Structure 1
Amino acid sequence: MLLNDDQLLRYSRQILLPDVDIEGQQRLLSSRVLILGLGGLGSPVSLYLAAAGVGELWLVDDDQVDLTNLQRQIVHTHDRIGMSKVASARQALQALNPDVSLHCIEQRLDADSLQAQIAQVDLVVDCSDNFSTRFALNAACFAAGVPLVSGAAIRFDGQISVFDPRNPQSPCYQCLYPQGDDAALTCSESGVLAPLVGVIGSMQAMEAIKLLSGAGKPLTGRLLLLDGRRMEWREMRLSADPDCPVCAGRHLHPSSDPAQ
């Protein structure tokens, strides 16, 4: 995809980066990304991916904008209370960058529909808030061979990682969490500090842009953990679970990794 004069000007600050350049920006413009969840994490993810020039965004959420959302879900506004989150986000993203193609799905996707949607995109960003959805999304991404950028935020604590089935050394989300308890993840009961989702969501957008453009080194095989109270980051190395029900059997022994 050749950039026109307006696009060269709009994305000039990214194009100036040697890791991105014209070719990287062209890759972004040709990319298709599915964002599952248009809440606290999905807000900065969708805004930054639209601003950065990702060509097509698939927006998935079955919820409506509520007054309690507005403390942290910055893609929505007070006058859109009661509107579907997908429609509200579409309005904001179109105003930000009308060149981005937006596909809106205002429903909860089951396993079959997830698989069908993921087959149409190049990358998935998980901005959901429960383990059952994360497990289903992870399984669908690994079945389709599509990289997954995963983030989570609760109270003062956040985490982010990348799970990439194209990389034979990459673990999957279920290697990290063999099972999970959704009751422990509700912001309505546990609370969440507003800027925390902005920090983690912005980092998810950065990882997505890196993967799509070919810039930098993604977080594949690494988990970043943020303690917002102390503003301290920890990094954990992740390895694949040989007994994982999702990705077992697809991993190379380190000595047989063709990249080494």
Structure 2
Amino acid sequence: MSAKPHKFWPSVGSVWSHWSDLLLATQLAALRAGFNYVGKTWDPASPAYLKLRCQVEAHARRKNRCRHALVGAAPVDPQDPSGAWMVTAVTATNLEARRHPTHCNGIGLSRRLKKKPAGRGALGPGDVITGFRDLHTLEGSLRADARRTGRFLSFGAVPKTECDLEFKCVLGTATCPFRVRLHETGEPGEEPQWRCLEIKRTHTFVSGASVPQDRLKRRLDFFVSPLPHARVTVLTFQRTM
């Protein structure tokens, strides 16, 4: 993969085996650039047209949302949206973290990764992630690791908690046991920190995803696997009050 970070983004004219792989490639590029919360929307005027953009919501502490467009795509065969997709548009002005100032109050931006990050070793319960750069790198590593086994992850705040974040499998968010859960521990005014509370590595759903094509594999290889390869599949950290 090119050492130039802007080359990491999907380019106009590139073809991806499925829209979910294009979404993942865009998420990985954003994480390398220093921001996250990238998702998909379907164009109401043209349901076969895919828009990949920021999905940061406004709330009491964040008055403005972020809906910056990043990538647009259409199916190669309009009659087969389950097949390959081609990138038709890239909004170049939105590919840098500084263009997303409303990613704040619990979300945050980080510096751009100019080169492949060094492996931090296997993530385990009790380990602490410090700063948004390390959090974004961890998210990229977890998403890449999941795709190597044909899976995709969701990421966001845990309902009914104020400080917990969680990665889950999208092939069965309510029932698949896979999860990596983090708890924010940093003090106000200090660099944010998250402690890993729990890792469940087991998946119960069989993936139907194809083998990653080369252009996706090169992007997956940029991120080092963060999970232990031991036989233990459930790891937890006991919180103390």
Per the normalisation by structure 2, the TM-score is 0.29
Per the normalisation by structure 1, the TM-score is 0.27
Structure in which a larger fraction of residues adopt helix:
1
